[in-house]
Amino acid sequence: MTVDRTRASDQLRSVLDRLTEGRAAALERLFDFLAIPSISTDPACHEACLYAADWCAKSLCDIGFEARVEPTDGKPMVVAHWRHPDGGARPHVLFYGHYDVQPPDPLEAWDAPPFEAQLVDDAQHGQVIVARGASDDKGQVMTFLEACRAWMAVDGALPVDVTVLFEGEEESGSPSLAPFLAAHGDELQADIALVCDTGQWDPETPAITAFLRGLAFSEITVSGPSRDLHSGIYGGPARNPIRVLAELVADLHDAQGRVTIPGFYDDVHEPSGKQRDAWGALGFDTSAFLGEIGLSEPAGETDRNVLEQLWSRPTVEVNGMIGGYTGPGTKTVIPAQASAKLSFRLVPNQDPAKIIDGLHRFIAERLPGDARVSFGGEGGSPAVGFDTAAPAFRATAAALQDEWGKPPVVVGCGASIPIVESFRTRLGMDALLVGFALDDDRIHSPNEKYNLTSFEKGARSWARILAKLGDHDVSL
């Protein structure tokens, strides 16, 4: 495939001009999308999720895709394709996003109704879009769709062949995704997946995520007496499951913040000196990072800085504990059982099953007499890393530099995106993770926001990325 570079440059310029001219209409479309209360975890919002899927399919058809809503046992998938009419060989990408959102609770903490999007003046960021889903993930999804819309309006074609997959259960564990990939994997095959569910380095600097931590989780239940007991009659002689559980959970870390499960770090590789130097050069502001959430001191491993903790070290966190009476007033009981939910964030080479097995042995070795333990809700997915020297990665970096006037920061991500590992293991496909969210977007929290510049420059970035990936010198 030979590319007329002058014509290609003129086309891209026209596409970018089109995005500028269509700002108001693009924002109106995003606000329509944000108005749909597509909360996948709430059964009362099931019809809204169905409507959101239809809305996405219709939008894709309006752009020029062949799109459909594909039923599942849960919320439907949206699948769409655009192929160049000439049928020639060209790069093919799969774009993934999700149309479901987190519940907006607590409603009283919102400055305006969560599904009535507002354009608000912000002292730090200028204008911001405030609504549930503005950043996670509807605003991010729309950056890509608006880029495609502009390309089709200007050229009648996209620079690459594109398949789109939107799911409606990302915020509730994606239970329908694995069976859907098993049934429709062949249809979704592409050279590479594009995922816009990550963030920028700062408001003026783009980023490409090259590493995602893996995840493992478990719920521990400690049982003691055969029933709840009166603490006056049995207090002292009777084993208290809450006390046992609290001691077990406290034992998971030492005074330096390291995880004490034997073998936990066996498969963890240290970052190279070059990596550490590159991270140090980023000028990460620990005080600002923690200050934004009302904290002041890093609480992880004492010999690691915050970026090392997030990008190269595994963790175990207690996500919830419950036992005994937790209602109003006093009820003096020794409970029959107590439970804790744990999650592990894992780095490359760590096996979730091995980590869970280590937890089981750790608990068994410390369990006192008259206490029993059971485990539930266990599972996980491994960490994912990408080749930053791959042609598609370099092309994307060049496109982002063209738009933002500076090279993107190559970052890790302390969170997990299980779909990325699924693309690799089930479809044999790597992914490019490019997003335009910011740490202070308050995703999953009241007053979620998305910077207007993130939305507009995100669309321009995708327009440039599609052009670069369509270049005949770029091999995927």
- The full DSSP string for 32-71 is HHHTS--BTT-GGGHHHHHHHHHHHHHHHHHHT-EEEEE-
Residue 476 confidence (pLDDT) above 50: no
Evaluate whether 435 touches 200 at the Cβ level (below 8 Å).
yes
Residue 222 confidence (pLDDT) above 90: yes
C-alpha span between 142 and 29 (Å, rounded): 9
The CA angle 287-293-297, to the nearest 5 degrees, is: 40
Which ranges of 283-390 does DSSP label H, i.e. alpha helix?
Answer: 286-291, 306-312, 352-366
pLDDT of residue 388: 87
- Band of residue 419 on the pLDDT scale cut at 50, 70, 90: confident
pLDDT of residue 475: 44
Identify which of 15, 330, 12, 320 has the alpha carbon closest to the alpha carbon of residue 150: 15
What interhelical angle do 138-155 and 46-63 show, nearest 10?
Answer: 20
Amino acid at position 207, single letter = A
User: How many alpha carbons fall within 13 Å on the CB side of residue 208?
Assistant: 27
Our separate counts of H helices and E strands in the chain read 14, 18
Q: Which two tokens stand for residue 64?
A: 């020029």
Residue 70 confidence (pLDDT) above 50: yes
What interhelical angle do 352-366 and 241-250 show, nearest 10?
Answer: 130
Amino acid at position 288, single letter = A
* Average pLDDT estimate for 355-364: 98
C-alpha span between 298 and 306 (Å, rounded): 7
Amino acid at position 456, single letter = E
Query: E strands, 51-160, where?
Result: 66-70, 77-82, 92-98, 118-122, 126-130
- Band of residue 6 on the pLDDT scale cut at 50, 70, 90: confident
180 contact partners, CB below 8 Å, separation of at least 6: 70, 72, 77, 167
- Express as a percent the part of the chain with pLDDT over 70: 98
C-alpha span between 274 and 356 (Å, rounded): 32
Q: Tell me the pLDDT tens digit for each residue of 118-136.
A: 999 999 999 999 999 999 9
What is the pLDDT of the chain when averaged over all its residues?
94
Q: Tell me the pLDDT tens digit for each residue of 272-322.
A: 898 899 899 999 999 999 998 899 999 999 999 999 999 999 999 999 999
Identify which of 30, 70, 67 has the alpha carbon closest to the alpha carbon of residue 50: 70
Residue 54 confidence (pLDDT) above 50: yes
Amino acid at position 461, single letter = S
3-state DSSP helix/strand/coil % of the chain, to nearest 5: 40, 25, 40
Q: Is the dihedral of CA 283, 288, 293, 295 positive or negative?
A: positive
Domains defined for the chain, CATH in brackets: 5-212+383-469 (3.40.630.10), 214-275+290-381 (3.30.70.360)
Evaluate whether 172 touches 398 at the Cβ level (below 8 Å).
no
pLDDT of residue 5: 67
- Band of residue 473 on the pLDDT scale cut at 50, 70, 90: very low
The CA angle 337-343-344, to the nearest 5 degrees, is: 135
